[in-house]
Amino acid sequence: MGCRVNQVETERLSQTGAAYGFYPVPPGGTPDIVIINTCSVTSESDRQARQQIRRVGRENPQAQLVITGCYAQGNAARLEQMPGVALVVGNREKEDLWEHLTRLSTTHHTRCVGSVTDRAAWDAVALVDTFADHSRAFLQVQDGCDNRCTFCTIPGLRGPSRSLSVEYVRAQAARYRATGYQEIVLTGINLGTYGKDRTPPGTLAQLVASLVPDMTGRRLRLSSVDPQDVQEDLIQQFAEPTVLCPYLHLSIQAGDDLILKRMGRDYGRHWILEQIRRLRAVRPEMVFGADLIVGFPTETAAAFQQTLDLVEEAEISFLHVFRYSDRPGTPAAAIPGRFRVPPQEAQHRSELLRQKGRELLARTAQRWIGREETILVESLEAGLAKGKTAGFLPVCFPASPETQTGQLVTVRLTGFDPEQQTLRG
């Protein structure tokens, strides 16, 4: 469940269990164990985790349930009381999950959740060859977060920022290339802080520079980055010629300076707009996405309008919109009720932002019509291929008999389907 990092960790688990005698159940088989890797970024994520655990327990009454991830880290005692749960494993213990499972039958313990407050050494984790059911491979390079945003519990559930070594990252990238992946996505809980905890310190830009020479003919992509981490050295990595995709997803959260300050974010409206301008100066075809929170306590109609105007001015085409929800123990959760945005108004603002995102995606896509673009094929169905441009724009086109998922294919873009929000080629 949840973020790309959880997906990477789940993939590592699926490929490392055999060394301990645990194997994925084939289609139609009956599992002895079900592992659920949970998320806890919002209250809705918590609810979905509990719902998923109950559903899996009902559908697999013979199975032992193993719960890990962020919800497990923060709610171990509650999870132990849920029917069918045999083992709760914390985030720091997740990489040793199979060892804990091996001991489960003899010790009958049900909890292995330690502290995440220390910045323990983290030079390497298991290398894997594939990323199941995905046309692109995700490569985790960092975990944890040093920020103290007033709405977020993730630093307390993941711990401080920790970066994997450059040598490990290059080795994992080489494994993916050998398997045939044409696109690799660097990901982390707070990707932009990569390397700051290393000795000597490094940067995300330096990591990218070390990977680029080996990626000729392929794509390298970044997942979400905080605006304050978009510094000059990273901006220059996007300048042509490069294999780095001209797309960047920014964890903006809001477009109003006062709301950003109350959120504990280390940047303002001007910084966001200026860094986007500078990125487009070195790479005019840059496309942007953003995470945005609506309904943060004290967000007035005027403050929300600032966010809406920022999205328009920066032409941010892909919006992940979240309605604010209280997280236990955070400063924002203590803000008095009279400063809260009514749920109906928060929903209305969410819809306005999503509509703005659809308009901007259509506007951005129009500029690509008539061009030839390289598309990474993600799926094939009924003679049609679907995939993404380097700028992450979705494309649908007729597949040839030789077309395969994971391929890079040159496609001439001929139109845009506003209902499907997809370019045609």
Domain boundaries, the chain: 4-112, 137-366, 372-424
Identify the pLDDT of residue 27.
Answer: 87
**Cα 80 to Cα 86: distance, rounded to the nearest angstrom:** 8
CA 302 from centroid of its chain's CA atoms: 30
Q: Mention the CATH class of domain 137-366.
A: alpha beta
17-32 residue pLDDT tens: 999 999 999 888 999 9
173-226 residue pLDDT tens: 999 999 999 999 999 999 999 999 999 999 999 999 999 999 999 999 999 999
CA distances from 282 to 12, 232, 237, 279, 360 (A): 36, 11, 9, 5, 21
Does the CA dihedral 201-218-371-366 come out positive or negative? negative
* Helix H or strand E encompassing 274: helix 269-282
Identify the pLDDT of residue 108.
Answer: 63
Kindly give the parts of the chain with pLDDT less than 50: none
- 301: which 2 tokens? 């109609």
Identify the pLDDT of residue 109.
Answer: 65
DSSP assigned state of 154: H
Which fold, 4-112?
Rossmann fold (3.40.50)
CB 237 within 8 A of CB 244: yes
Identify the pLDDT of residue 107.
Answer: 60
- pTM equals 0.93
Let me know if the fold of 4-112 is the same as that of 137-366: no
- 373: which 2 tokens? 């673009």
CA distances from 238 to 59, 205, 278 (A): 48, 10, 10
Look over the chain and give the mean of its residue pLDDT values, rounded to a whole number: 94
Identify the pLDDT of residue 312.
Answer: 98
Q: At 243, is the secondary structure helix, strand, or coil?
A: coil
Identify the pLDDT of residue 167.
Answer: 95
**Cα 67 to Cα 53: distance, rounded to the nearest angstrom:** 8
Identify the pLDDT of residue 129.
Answer: 87
